[in-house]
Amino acid sequence: MKQDIERVLITRQEIDQRLDELAKQIYDDIIADSPSCPDNGTPIIPDITLVPILTGSIIFVADLIRRLPLKMQIRVMSVTSYPGTATSTKGASVEAALTRLPERLDGHHVLIIDDILDSGNTLKLVKEIIAKKNPATLRSCMLLRKQRPEALAEACEYIAFDIPDEFVIGYGLDYDDYYRNLPEICTLKPEVYENDL
Ligand code: 5GP
Ligand code: MG
Ligand code: MG
């Protein structure tokens, strides 16, 4: 596996440090939004509903939620856009069999979690579907955002890292469903995928 890596873009230590900051920011925003108890002024913290997008967000969400001391439900969605050996988007579509969204989300504070904002198609689609279920608030949190106009144009409240417009793997992100278990975020040697292009 190591021999397929071109270079490490983001190290495990950088991820850990950034996740501490990001979790604090998310937590502080939720507290700031919470109504206060009329008797003693302490915030009444609402439950939150996390919507991780499978499969790429699995490592990110596992590490992020253990830094968030909040009462939360987890409702996964599965969206495919880079099937198999694709290294560019083929258009986002929901996999209903792996999606666990409730009928309605009235009163829920929803946070969408995904691995990477690239064309923005996935996030746009997920936001549309969730917005129709009428949540109280709807925010998004991405591990990575590529420096391309479509990604920068899509509204997203929390971004862990901005990266160059390159195909990356590791820390949940795959190539042909491999490499998700790499602890760091890396680029792949072109010879690994150029036969599939
Ligand atoms: P978008 O819909 O914004 O184009 O892309 C979102 C999805 O495409 C991501 O959730 C991810 O599954 C896949 N994707 C986009 N860019 C990359 C990349 O650089 N590496 C990998 N492994 N997947 C990517
Ligand atoms: Mg994805
Ligand atoms: Mg993928």
User: Do the Cβ atoms of 18 and 160 come closer than 8 Å?
Assistant: yes
**Which residues, judged by CB distance below 6 Å to any ligand atom, belong to the binding site of ligand 1?**
56, 81-82, 89, 92, 114-122, 167-169, 173-175
User: Would you say residue 35 has pLDDT above 90?
Assistant: no
Q: What is the pLDDT of residue 84?
A: 73
- pLDDT tens digits, residue range 14-25? 999 999 999 999
Q: Is 33 in the active site?
A: no
Residue written as tokens 């499969």?
55
| 142-158 as b/e: b if 16+ CB within 10 A | bbbbbeeeebeebebeb
HSE, CB side, 13 Å, CA atoms: give it for residue 53: 28
Atom of ligand 1 nearest to the CA of 53: 10
Rounded CA separation 122/79 (Å): 7
| Average pLDDT of span 23-43 | 90
Q: Which of 51, 55, 60, 81 to mutate to test the pocket of ligand 1 (most atoms within 8 A of CB)?
A: 81
Residue 196 banded pLDDT, cuts 50, 70, 90: low
In the chain the domains, ranked by start, together with CATH numbers, are 17-24+46-163 (3.40.50.2020)
Rounded CA separation 154/26 (Å): 19
Kindly list the distances between the CA atom of residue 89 and the CA atoms of 49, 167, 191, in Å, as whole numbers in the listed order: 27, 11, 20
What are the strands of the beta sheet with 168-169, ordered from one edge?
5-10, 185-188, 168-169
Q: Which residues pair with 35 in a beta bridge?
A: none
The residue nearest atom 16 of ligand 1, judged by CA position, is: 118
> Which ligand does the CA of 144 lie closest to?
1
Q: What is the pLDDT of residue 1?
A: 81
User: Would you say residue 197 has pLDDT above 80?
Assistant: no
* Residues bordering ligand 3, an ion, CB closer than 5 Å: 82, 174
According to DSSP, the β-strands at 77-80 and 93-94 are antiparallel
- pLDDT tens digits, residue range 158-189? 999 999 999 999 999 999 999 999 999 999 99
- pLDDT tens digits, residue range 72-131? 999 999 998 877 777 777 788 999 999 999 999 998 999 999 999 999 999 999 999 999
